[in-house]
Chains A and B, each alone.
Chain A
Amino acid sequence: MQVKDIITTLNLTVFGGIQGLAHEVTGGYTSDLLSDVMGHAENGKIWITLQTHKNVIAIAALKDLAAVILIKGLEPDADMLAQAKEEGIPVLGTNDQAFETTGKIFNLLSH
């Protein structure tokens, strides 16, 4: 499943980083601790978080993550968005909280 399929199915907002919409999603990782993601998220995962700063993209790019989903209606900081566009990492948004978002994506990827 590609990032764009998840956007369509879950009706997610696309803030930027559209070059990466065709990234293949191999799974998800839900965490707000950056070192946790750095240490444990594998490439191709979609990262669900409430962190909205630029370092999120640095980590997503270094770990070759598929995309980042910001929960609870949060929006990326300006420098996060700029970095996402530069690195081609899609930054997406939802009004749901982490639990629901994770559950929905888990279900999508399990089918």
Chain B
Amino acid sequence: MRFEYNIEAGNFTKAGDASSSFKKILKQLNVDPQVIKRIVVSLYEGEVNIVAHANGGKVICDVDTSRVTIQLIDVGPGIPDIEKAMQAGYSTASAKVREMGFGAGMGLQNIKNNADELIIKSEVGVGTKLTIIVNLNKI
């Protein structure tokens, strides 16, 4: 099953809408609540990154019997140094974004800690693609 969501650049009032909607679907599919939490944390952080840093993008969530694969694809500035971006506390967020309590350099770490697999591909001046895989524990 595939679910797609568009993410608007800079619109923090809609940040989290995709996560919220996908969480409801996962609940309906009877996914283990602990696994739902890990998926939702990863998706939310990815969503906020697109809102805060990119010029917009989309989320594609694929659910099969063994795992959930989330692709977050944005058009934006890209990440020049992925290794640096992965460091806890490193952030390029604007002052406005930081005032809201985002941009503490924890987002990608949160994704890494909650996903079974995280793949980041980025091209400067073009955009970034995150692929997040969470395995489904059978109940």
Give residues in A with beta carbon < 8 Å to B.
32-36, 38-39, 43, 49, 51, 53-55, 58-59, 61-64, 79
Contact = CB atoms under 8 A, between A and B. Distances in A.
Contacts of B113: 39
A54 B40 CA distance: 17
B interface, over-half SS:
helix
A34 B19 contact: no
A39 B41 contact: yes
A interface, over-half SS:
helix
B7 interface: no
Interface string B100-115: 1110101101100100
B45 to A, nearest CB: 7
B40 A34 contact: no
A49 B110 CA distance: 20
Contact size range, B: 20 to 34
Interface of B: 12-13, 15-17, 19-20, 23, 37, 40-41, 44-45, 48, 100-102, 104, 106-107, 109-110, 113
Contacts of A34: 48, 100-102, 104
Contact of A39 (B13, B15, B48, B109): B109
Contact of A61 (B20, B37, B106): B20
Contacts of B16: 55, 58-59, 62
5 contacts: A38-B110, A55-B15, A58-B16, A58-B19, A62-B19
